[in-house]
Structure 1
Amino acid sequence: MAVIEGMDNMEKVLPPGQFETDKWPILHEGDVYQFEEDKWNFRLFGDVKKEVTLSFADVMNLPKTKSTVDMHCVTTWSKFGTSFEGIAFREFLNLAQLEQDVKYVKLYGYLNGNRFGYSANLPLEPLLGDDSLFVFRWKDQLHEWQDITPKHGYPLRFIPPASFYLWKGPKWASGIEFMKEDEAGYWEERGYSMTANPFKEERFAEPNFTFDDFEDYDD
């Protein structure tokens, strides 16, 4: 198991337009997914030489990583120093034989019973480190290690690097699509930024948009 030490001592950098909170707020789009292990699986597909389907046991048998990641939500809250245990994105990448020129992914999660109802697009290269995790446990200064709750995305939720807003981390994760060309995900299709860098305040596709221009947001 990889463990990233000393992250709690890193300097906090609050992106523009954000406020700091010790809580982990709960916002979600649609119904809370009810996990049934015998019906659950995780797919690796898209621009690959062969699709891969993993059972829950297959996923949980992959190498685990613990890492501390700062979270920045587009709804303006930031939470520093939360530690997660999960499977690094690169472990799934190791199982997929990609075609040439794959540079993007789309991460999927359940939405109202549709296993691919929610999605978020991301570039591939920034996801190769220890701060890109499909997580199942967490802790912070106020909580000891515990499973993430169904409302936070149990059994598996993606936490992106701090260089992306948190909507890029689907709850109730169900698969990864590997892509040669970038393609908008669920919120990107509704006018949110394709790149979503909180330190550049890339919230929306149009700089003059505000939350009043959108429906309720899920995180």
Structure 2
Amino acid sequence: MEKQLPPGQFKTKTWPILHQGDVYEFNEQSWNFRLFGQVKQEVSLSFAEVMSLPKTVSTVDMHCVTAWSKFDTTFEGIALHEMLKFVELNEDVKYIQVYGYYGGDRFGYSANLPLKDLLGDNALFVYRWKDETHDWQDITPKHGYPLRFIPPASFYLWKGTKWVSGIRFMKQDEEGFWEELGYSMTANPFKEERFR
């Protein structure tokens, strides 16, 4: 069955590199992953603890707001639902912000997402990938090494935070980095929700 190309998109076999600011330089000793916000108790995981979590392999289509779409990229990573096992959420948590490094601030970048859409195996914190022309390889620093969030194909890829540093759990939706600059809160490529 032919893949559905969202409106205004073109297909590419490459994985273009786009990001704001400088590329984060990974330091395992200082890196950690924070789970906070509307939780009973905050949790901080070391890189070793994150990488010891159960792994998921999933094939995801990526749709960038700059108009390219890449089908059938296979990622290995940690599903977001594995992170949920470490925290007890307060009542009525419906949204998250996925944070990443930007401008020297570990929480300088963020992307808002509805939690209910991220509970399957296609919402991953990834560290390696492959496709029809590439064998398994680590994601590069420019793609978000050591860990990048890849959202389901129902979201534009700006929701795929690079150099991730944590998740904040929220009862109400809040703007992230690009949303503050006028991008769509919901970012569905099949509805062409690029801007507000």
What band does the TM-score fall into relative to the shorter chain?
A: over 0.9
Pairwise CA RMSD: 0.6
1:74 alignment counterpart: 65
- Match in the other structure for 1:41: 32
What's the CA shift string for 1:121-140, capped at 9, x where partnerless? 00000000010000000000
Q: Give the TM-score normalised by the residue count of structure 1.
A: 0.89
Moved over 6 A (4+): none
Say whether residues 1:20 and 2:11 are aligned partners. yes
Deviations 1:87-144 (A, max 9, x none): 0000001111100000000000000210000000000000000100000000000100
In structure 2, the partner of 1:176 is 167
Which letter maps to 1:24?
Answer: W
Aligned to 1:127: 118
SS in 1 for 2:48: helix
- The aligned amino acid for 2:9 is Q
Amino acid at match of 1:14: L
Match of 1:145 in 2: 136
Give the equivalent residue in structure 1 for 2:190.
199
What is the aligned length? 196
**Which stretches in structure 2 are left out of the alignment for 5+ residues?**
none
Q: Aligned partners of 1:92 and 1:156: how far apart in 2?
A: 14
Deviation at 1:11, TM superposition (A): 3.6
Equivalent residue letter for 2:40 = K
Structure 1 regions of 5+ residues with no counterpart?
Answer: 1-9, 206-219
Q: In 2, distance between residues paired with 1:41 and 1:128?
A: 22
Q: Does 1:87 align with 2:63?
A: no
Instruction: Give the whole-Å Cα distance in 2 for the aligned partners of 1:11 and 1:98.
Output: 40
Q: Tell me the distance in 2 between the aligned counterparts of 1:93 and 1:167.
A: 22
Question: Percent same amino acid among aligned pairs?
Answer: 75
Aligned residue among 76, 101, 112 for 2:92? 101
Helix, strand or coil at the partner of 1:151: helix
User: Is residue 164 from structure 1 mapped to residue 155 from structure 2 by the alignment?
Assistant: yes
Letter aligned with residue 149 of structure 1: T
- Superposition deviation, residue 37 in structure 1: 0.1
Residue 113 (structure 1) aligns with: 104
> What is the SS of the residue equivalent to 2:50?
helix
Q: Normalising to structure 2: TM-score of the pair? A: 0.99
